[in-house]
Amino acid sequence: MELTAAVVAVRMDRTWKRELRLPLLNSVFWTDSTAVLKYINNESSRFRVFVANRVSEILKASSASQWRYVNTTHNPADLASRGMKAETFLRDTEWICGPAFLTQPENNWPVNPENLQELPREDPEVKVSAAINVSQVHDDDHPLTPLIHRASSWTRLIRVMGWILRFKILLLHRRKIRFQSASDPIQSEDA
């Protein structure tokens, strides 16, 4: 919801600039969502479609430096959700004029939290990437190449390879027995 609100903010900014036809200064956008700020400031991660499309639209109409953090206690957009009575809400100047710090020089405004480029690993909106390395060896003289090409399925190839390996183990075992019996003639006579 916060990300969608950020999209609405840049759309409204674009509309106001177009319709007012006044040379407006650089716009500043405020959000109390550090997640939105991290999405906007991130340059290394890829996001799932919903977030990626919204971040793309936000960055087409604004730059990451135009986005600022406001604590939820100073966010006039949250006034209605704080259980305020209607008459108090209508008398509250913060709703109409914004937080008091906006009347001060920009260097007195709240600073953005640190580490806005770092997204948590467990963020469900970040696409997990996997690297796959593939190498191809051209060795047509390998004795198993015809076997691999003749197998009708992966399962059949595994089964045939299993039988070949069993046969190999059997031959090695027989060779070992034959070698032991040839090297120890006394034991072979006792048997």
More confident residue, 60 or 88: 60
Question: What is the rounded average pLDDT of the residues 11-25?
Answer: 85
Same domain, 91 and 15: yes
Contact 57, 97 (CB under 8 A): no
Report if residue 22 sits inside a domain: yes
Residue 176 has pLDDT above 60, yes or no: yes
Count of domains for the chain: 2
Which one of 91, 108, 125 terminates a domain? 108
Same domain, 67 and 160: no
Range of lowest pLDDT (61-75, 129-143, 154-168, 170-184):
129-143
Give the rounded percent of residues in the chain with a pLDDT score beyond 70.
84
Report if residue 43 sits inside a domain: yes
What is d(CA 99, CA 91) in angstroms, rounded to the nearest whole number? 14
Report if residue 60 sits inside a domain: yes
Report if residue 151 sits inside a domain: yes
Same domain, 97 and 166: no
Report if residue 23 sits inside a domain: yes
The pLDDT value given to residue 138: 65
Quote the mean pLDDT of the chain. 79
Report if residue 52 sits inside a domain: yes
CA-based max dimension of the chain: 113
Report if residue 137 sits inside a domain: no
pLDDT band at 171 (very low <50, low <70, confident <90, very high): very high
More confident residue, 119 or 133: 133
The pLDDT value given to residue 30: 84
